[in-house]
Amino acid sequence: MSLRAFIRDNHEKIISEFAAFARTLMPPGADMTEAQLRDHAEQILMAVVDDISTPQTSEEQSLKSRGRGAAKSMEASGRLHADHRIHHGFTFRSVLAEFRALRATVLRLYEQSGQTDLADVRRFNEAIDEAMTESMDRFAGQTDRFRDQFIGVLGHDLRTPLSAVTAGAALLAIPEDNPERRLRVASRIINSAQRMERLIADLLDLANARLGGSLPLKRQLTNLQQVCEEAIVEIGAAHPDTTLRSQMSGDLRGHWDADRLAQVVSNLLANAVQHGGGTAITLTAQEQGDAVMLAVQNGGPPIPQHALPSIFEPLARGATEGTSHSIGLGLFIARVIVTAHGGDIQVSSSTETGTTFTVRLPKA
């Protein structure tokens, strides 16, 4: 039996093994269905079969082996797979591992069948290499665009507090005896410096997460109700016109990193203020068995359904809305912290119910 016929007859088994391996490569916090994990694998396999079935001269084979083939039969499937994996937060190394696993699975199963069609095997390897190259080119292009956008937005985010510090320092340099004014200026400088410090801390967390490192936690017995109350006071002071409500019930104590959880609650509330359109914000915390559920709900325009799967990625919200006013690390950092605690975070959004971010944290 030729390899192309073997793939046609056994594609379901091949794809099942491929999906099982792909699940081990999912980034933390990603929630992908079986259909999403299998997505485009069958398309890639069928494109491989079509490529093997297409007559090829020795000259065409030579050009193709050097990446200069004219047919580009694997281009579409390779790019589609890359776009899908980028959308779900996979790294290029994970996608490379997927292609290696797909190649190894097909060849292993084919060998176990007792068949040997070396010509088809050679064509199969050429096709997989072409699809893999197209995927890596797609990743490189996306990475370049992300880098340029990220640097631009970072410059914008740092410019505002830095300007405030510079202007405040200039005012303090003016020799005058006005203690109240100097105190207000000094307070603005401190607030701006703290804003830059928080941004830099978020960037360090981002870099650590992207490099596969684990977020350091200082676990201790923590009362989530106290964390929530302090976050509400902080956000309320910064946004006095916003209506903040809280509903808490049950034993909300657990072994968590209090400072990190404060980041989560503060980031979710700040996100609700920014995108809530002035509507009331409700923070709910309740005990549920050996876990605690935390939810932040706001009204305002719903998040588009196509944007929900990538909402926790950096720049996702700004890119969705076509703006560049914030580097958008709040939701990403929240997900990283929740995942480090062994929990999970979800989002739902509709015109009728508004937008709700729900966090589940195991107490232990």
Task: Write the burial class of residue 258 (CB in 10 Å: 0-12 exposed, 13-18 middle, 19+ buried).
Answer: middle
Lookup: tokens for 158: 């740092």
Angle in degrees, CA 118, 122, 123, rounded to 5: 120
> Is the pLDDT score of 209 beyond 80?
no
What CATH superfamily is the domain 3-145? Histidine kinase N-terminal domain (1.10.490.70)
- Check residue 60 and give its pLDDT: 67
Confidence (pLDDT) at 318 = 46
pLDDT by residue (tens digit) across 66-118? Answer: 555 555 667 777 787 787 777 666 777 888 888 888 888 888 888 888 877 78
Q: Is the pTM of this model over 0.85?
A: no
Domain 151-210 has CATH 1.10.287: yes
> Nearest to residue 52, comparing CAs of 136, 137, 114, 117?
117
Q: Write down the mean pLDDT value for the chain.
A: 80
Q: Tell me: the pLDDT tens digits for 189-204? A: 887 787 677 677 767 7
Per-residue model confidence as pLDDT tens digits over 125-182: 888 888 888 888 888 887 777 666 666 656 656 776 777 788 888 877 887 777 887 8
pLDDT in tens, 300-326: 889 888 888 778 876 655 444 433 344
The answer to whether residue 57 scores a pLDDT higher than 60 is yes
Query: How far lies 203's CA from each of 110, 139, 157, 327, in Å?
Result: 47, 22, 12, 10
The reported pLDDT for the residue numbered 283 is 96
What does the alpha-carbon distance between residue 107 and residue 89 come to, in Å, rounded to a whole number?
A: 28
Contact 233, 357 (CB under 8 A): no
Report pLDDT for 71.
52
Listed by start position, the domains of the chain span: 3-145, 151-210, 220-362
**Cα 301-303-306 angle, rounded to 5 deg:** 145
Secondary structure of residue 54 in the 3-state scheme? coil
Q: Is 71 helix (H, G, I), strand (E, B) or coil?
A: coil
Indicate the CATH number for domain 220-362: 3.30.565.10
Contact 267, 276 (CB under 8 A): no
CA trace torsion 137, 322, 335, 277 (10° rounding):
-170
Q: Do domains 3-145 and 220-362 have the same CATH topology?
A: no
- pLDDT higher than threshold 60 for residue 244: yes
CA distance 8 to 258: 55
Strand partners, 295: 284, 358
What pLDDT, in 10s, does the model give residues 116-136? Answer: 778 888 888 888 888 888 888
Place of tokens 């000094």: 186
